[in-house]
Amino acid sequence: MRRLRLLTAGESHGPGLVGVLEGLPAGLRVSTRRVDLDLRRRQHGYGSGRRMQIERDRVRWIAGIRYGRTLGSPVGFAVDNRDWENWTDRMSVEPIPADRRPKAITRARPGHVDLAGALKYGVDDVRDVLERASARSTTPRVVAGSLARQLLGATGVRIWSFVDQLGPVRAFAEADDPLACVAPDWPDRDLRDPSPLRCPDPEAEARMLEEVDRAKEAGDSIGGSFVVVAERVPVGLGSSAEWDTRLDGILAGAVMAIPGVKGVEIGLGFGVVDRQGSAVHDVVDAADAGWRRSSNRAGGIEGGISNGEPIVVRAAQKPVSTLRSPLPSVDLATGASGRAHIERSDVTVLPRAAIVGEAMVALMLADELLYSFGGDSMADLRAAVARRRRRTERRPG
């Protein structure tokens, strides 16, 4: 990131998770309720395991906020792990003699960090590496992303997401522009009353729910894809001046860094492969007084720069690696074959991964907004963004 810095720490079953977000301007009104809502959204969803029922995450501010507004200093925060009290022996910070320790985990799960991480750090208890690799580490990202969302919201940008595919079931299968299919009053657009899988196509969602139940019954897991949308992004975030300043590359890297995400598309994405140019590029609508396009196959980014259309990022999420009917594995300690270990786990994480996707997109866009428009205070930032909107959102003539 170019203007913001985010550092996070915390293990899945340790005492808690912490983060420091540096670079927010002074004067951002912070809604703690909004942050807690995003944390709850990260925990909600059909196919979630028991832990999500045990824990209700809440943010605890430690630094950088006074009277509900940012000070311009780093914002420090913590989210306690309510389950910690059940893990004090297995995750003890204090040394425990080897003969009194809980049993080590030695049978790695295929598809998870277990074997690669154990080999990298030279450990023989896989818990040493899986605790940090767990998606619990996305919790501080969601807190920081919620702050970024609030900053973006103060300049008119709105971010939302939905699940568009689960296993073989695709919502709006024939659609060229998936956004056109999402009703303007679909509740999740305004983050109200989420449906169980956060899919805006009720008929497809019903079939998706059946797929989740089938995977659960088989002791298996199931993946799919989610879409993150950012609306009213000012023209001009990112640049084509250098490879690492392109907005598409920045967003793709951040979304790809979500655990379990294996592919990222902007706009049509891989859909460009089998089309001719005339069916890929978006024509500026002659009838419109603004710079509106008649389609948004580019997903809101051309030449690495936001073009004013909604930014549309789609991510492929692999099925979780922890299976209740575990895959074959090899014991790290003895070399004997056996089954992978079982950790408390979800059948699908799609509706929750989408919320992490929103957080990553919000963080990247807030960072680029601050890079382009700067400002020590929110008043400076808002004024600069308004100036840009005045210049770019009206067509001459």
Ligand X SMILES: Cc1cc2nc3c(=O)[nH]c(=O)nc-3n(C[C@H](O)[C@H](O)[C@H](O)COP(=O)(O)O)c2cc1C
Residue 133 binds ligand X (CB under 6 A): yes
Q: Does 198 bind ligand X (CB under 6 A)?
A: no
Least distance in angstroms from the C-beta of 194 to ligand X? 15
- Residue 342: is it exposed, middle or buried by C-beta count within 10 angstroms (0-12/13-18/19+)? middle
One character per residue 9-28, x = contact with ligand X (rule: CB under 6 A): --------------------
Distance in Å, CB of 352 to ligand X, minimum: 4
**Residue 352 binding ligand X, by CB under 6 A:** yes
The verdict on 358 binding ligand X (CB under 6 A) reads: no
**Interface segment toward ligand X; rule CB under 6 A; list 31-39, 61-69, 130-138, 192-200:** 130-138
Residue among 27, 47, 260, 304 that touches ligand X (CB under 6 A): 260
In the complex, least distance from residue 46 CB atom to ligand X, rounded to whole angstroms = 13
Burial class (CB in 10 A: 0-12, 13-18, 19+), 90: middle
Q: Does 345 bind ligand X (CB under 6 A)?
A: yes
197 lies in the site for ligand X, by CB under 6 A:
no
| DSSP states along 99-132 | GGSPPPP-BPPTTSSHHHHHHHHT-S-THHHHHH
Rounded Cα–Cα distance for residues 307 and 234 (Å): 8
C-beta of 148 vs 320, nearer to ligand X: 320
Q: Which residues contact 138 (CB under 8 A, 6 or more apart)?
A: 42, 258, 259, 356, 359
Residue 129 sits in the site that holds ligand X (CB under 6 A): no
Residues 304-333 that bind ligand X (CB under 6 A): 320-322
The region of 81-89, 98-106, 190-198, 349-357 touching ligand X under the rule CB under 6 A is 349-357
Distance CA 350, CA 69 (A): 33
What's the closest the beta carbon of residue 307 comes to ligand X, in angstroms?
Answer: 29
Cβ–Cβ under 8 Å, residues 100 and 93: no
Please give the structure tokens belonging to residue 82. Answer: 């309510």
d(CA 174, CA 126): 44
Q: What six digits make up the tokens of 47? A: 């196919």
Residues that bind ligand X (CB under 6 A): 49, 112-113, 133, 135, 138, 258-260, 320-322, 345-346, 349, 352-353, 356
